[in-house]
Amino acid sequence: MSLGQSRCRSRRLRLLFTSLTLGLALSWASSWANRVAAQVPSTASEPPPELASLLSRIDTAASAGDLAAVMRFYSPNFTSADGLTYNTLKQTLEDLWKRYPDLQYQTTLESWEQQGDAITTVTTTTITGVYPDERRDLNLSATITARQRLQNDQIVEQEILSERSELTAGDNPPTVSFNLPEQVNPGQEFDFDAVVMEPLGERLLLGAALEEPIGVENYLNPAPVELELLSSGGLFKVGQAPKSPDDRWISAVIVRYDGITAVTQRLRVVEVDQAGN
């Protein structure tokens, strides 16, 4: 997929922005959907008490940063649609908690279904945290919806259904309206806009758009980002999905003199007959 075609005229600067913010956002989006407690909506059917207890215990362990306790809730044979295994998940969490020592999780249990001796759940998780830095703190917020299968009080499978994360830094980070479809067909073109909501005035904006395949190797390894000097109040791009089903992370980084905002969203690339899954 290419995001190289621009629908606005902008002058490219040969600058590299090695974005810790972007890398952290990407890692969040692919690894955290099922590690938290559930708050059951009043309209949902009551889940089994053991399910609510299990989710509550996972939440407690994750909020405490207790890696050993969290991993006890995962099967040694754990797999995810993004390629995570038990060992790569453990390493990802260890690295992530070193960077974000104080994280808060809140999850809503959207649905659950008993399937023999297994339970399938769909959850929506909100995650917030701060990365302390001597120059400027990085503020993280993310929302992730995931489907997971639990068996014998352990998570055995996970699939991310949607995700979006935002990192901000500075005294007055730009407010960004991020417009991207959640899902496209293989080979389909799509519009991607990241618009700064405040009036531009005489202030300069730098920005970058990035597309990356979703995989274990990209979780905590941020790619260099080449910034553009923006002649209008944001990024306006046209992308094209890969020709075969293969989800992507689509990101925008907006830099202003008084702050930075980085937004990442998962773009699902699915066949038409999979759209309802």
Indicate the number of domains in the chain: 2
Q: Among 128, 146, 163, identify where a domain stops.
A: 163
- The answer to whether residues 58 and 138 belong to one domain is yes
193 and 153 together in one domain: no
Query: Are 103 and 142 in a shared domain?
Result: yes
Q: Tell whether 208 and 152 lie within a shared domain.
A: no
* Domain of residue 245, CATH code: 2.60.40.2410
Are 226 and 14 in contact by the 8 Å Cβ rule? The answer is yes
DSSP letter for 22, please. Answer: H
Q: How far is CA 109 from CA 91, 153, 183, 277, in A?
A: 26, 16, 22, 18
Structural domain ending residue among the three candidates 128, 163, 198 = 163
Q: What is the pLDDT of residues 36-94, one digit of tens each?
A: 234 444 334 678 888 878 877 888 888 889 999 999 999 999 999 999 999 999 998 89
pLDDT for the residue numbered 41: 41
pTM, 2 dp: 0.80
Residue 30 shares a structural domain with residue 52:
yes
Boundary residue ending a domain (129, 144, 163): 163
Pair 198, 83 in one domain: no
Domain shared by 108 and 223, yes or no: no
Instruction: Pick the more confident residue, 241 or 100.
Output: 241
Range of the domain at 95: 26-163
Average pLDDT over residues 115-120: 92
Q: What is the pLDDT of residues 173-219, one digit of tens each?
A: 999 999 999 999 999 999 999 999 999 888 899 999 999 988 777 76
Give the C-alpha separation, 46 to 49, whole Å. Answer: 8
Question: What's the mean pLDDT when you consider all of the chain?
Answer: 80
pLDDT (0 to 100) of residue 33: 29
CATH number of the domain that 149 lies in?
3.10.450.50
Query: What burial class does residue 272 get, using C-beta atoms within 10 Å of its C-beta: 0-12 exposed, 13-18 middle, 19+ buried?
Result: exposed
Residue 37 DSSP SS3:
coil
Looking at the fold, whether 98 and 141 belong to one and the same domain comes out as yes
